[in-house]
Amino acid sequence: MGNAPVASLTQRPRNQAASDSAVDNDLEQIQSTNSSLKLDDNPPNGGYGWVCVACSAFINAHTWGVNSSYGVFLQYYLSYDTFPNTSPLVYAFIGGLSISQAMLLAPLATHVIHLYGTKVCLHIGIFLQTLSLIGASFATQQYQLILSQGICFGWGMGFLFVGSVGITAQWFTTKRSLANSISAAGSGAGGLIYSLVTQAAINNLGLAWAFRILGICSFAVNITASNLIRDRNAQTGARHKAFDWKLLRRPEFLLVQGWSWFSMLGYCILLFSLPSYGRAIGLSANQGSVLGAVLNAGQMLGRPFIGLMSDRWGRINLATSLSIICGIFCFAFWIPAELLPSPMGLLCFFSIFGGAVAGTFWATIAPVGAEVVGLRDLPSALSWTWLLMVPPTTTAEAIALEMRRTDATSWIYLPPQIFTSFMYLAGGVCLWVVRGWKIGEMEMTERKLRERNARRESMMPATNAEKSRAGHESGHDELTPDSVLRREIWAPRNILRNMVKMQVV
């Protein structure tokens, strides 16, 4: 009889034990999704991680940076009719094709990482990109240029980008956004440098050798960086699924995709239309190209600042704010520039500061993705993101060209300018809602932990009467169902309240 209370504790009813087990499983799932900081074995936040940041920045400079020099090639093609019977639309299509193909290859590249590892993925990208640039140097027909500089280059850039983009986040927690932004700044630096290098090579050595120089330089840098960079997939438990369909059932993830869509529509239009906009308002071709270069310089300088502020003020907070600020900048500085007799000064101001925030998506997508889905599901989340970005990156500039007021003598680009502004604002609103969800999700996790601890305390060795009384008084006989808590998070009243809370997320 004296052992009855102990026996009753060690031989609990089966449904109660199952309930506790289910509670523990739910909490483990919540914690793994909620905080990427607990998924790995305490990243070093420095050390060799900074080597990986530098390697990723060099890879970005010699992929996206090289791709940014396409404007120089485009100007040459249109000026000298290099490939007969090729319309300007085809040349413009080649530039968009390289970006969309890089995004389209993301799921395949993710699957290659899952099967063979990161370095194999990077080396495939190096081979394809080098092949494309060397092949383009021998192109004499329209289809050869499309296959080499368009499709093959996009494939190589896609393998290199996917293979390197998630590594920086694996090495950092407190400095993750800063490290990722330094890495992303490489594309701006590469765009600035290679635009000048390409023009100089064409002027002095000709088109063919310009391609070959780009191919040789990018091969040398990318092969070195890919051999030095290291992933931490084993430590983080990263799951490199090309498509995790469960993510598409998560509203917060779909809102992140809305942010990416709207941001890319605005970003591509701004990046590709600014030089031609300059010509439309009376600037010279050289001044138009300077605007594009200044925009790239703004991205190069702005992305590390974005990362530093993200680590201090919150990754979702800053990505939301800067997306909205970019939309406001377009309204406040880009549109009114045409009213000035000498608009170059205001446009340069807009290019440097607008460029600093225009590429917020590229600087923050990996850290924001880690906050939303966790490090374990980040590769799959990024894979979905790159794939779903194919339509906006492919059609953005075409939309802008169709929206122009071609029959007008002034304000020709007003519709694309307004459209760009609203795209950034819409993207910011999408991420603002994600911020409300994140705060609610953090509160839900804390509530579940409190309830579990209270339940365990009530199950400590004691008499049945004491245990029953303690459980009754604490009100924790049963945990609040997870589905109920999630519905509470997404209740409009709670979302709106959390959206305006002053909290670092």
7: confidence class by pLDDT, cuts 50, 70, 90: very low
> What's the rounded Cα separation, in Å, for the pair 259 and 153?
27
Residue 461: predicted pLDDT:
63
Residue 94: predicted pLDDT:
82
Give the N- to C-terminal CA distance of the chain in Å, as an integer: 55
Burial readout 383-407 (b: 16 or more C-beta within 10 A, e: otherwise) = bbbbbbbbebbbebbebbbebbeee
Contacts of 466 (CB under 8 A, 6+ apart): none
Distance of CA 180 to CAs 21, 310, 376, 379, Å?
38, 10, 17, 15
- Helix ranges, 334-481 (H): 344-358, 360-373, 378-388, 390-403, 414-458, 464-474
Query: For residues 160 and 85, which has the higher predicted lDDT (pLDDT)?
Result: 160
Q: What is the pLDDT of residues 125-166, one digit of tens each?
A: 999 999 999 999 999 899 999 999 989 999 999 999 988 887
Segments of 254-299 assigned E as strands: none
Residue 36 pLDDT greater than 50, yes or no: no
Q: What is the pLDDT of residues 358-404, one digit of tens each?
A: 989 987 888 899 899 987 888 788 888 988 998 888 888 778 877 88
> What's the rounded Cα separation, in Å, for the pair 154 and 166?
19
Amino acid at 137: S
Residue 5: predicted pLDDT:
37
All structural domains of the chain: 22-39+239-505 (1.20.1250.20), 40-236 (1.20.1250.20)
Query: For residues 208 and 10, which has the higher predicted lDDT (pLDDT)?
Result: 208
Please compute the mean of the pLDDT values over residues 270-299 and round it to a whole number.
82
Sign of the Cα torsion 358, 296, 45, 114 reads: positive
Residue 67: predicted pLDDT:
87
- A 10 A CB-CB count for 439 gives 22
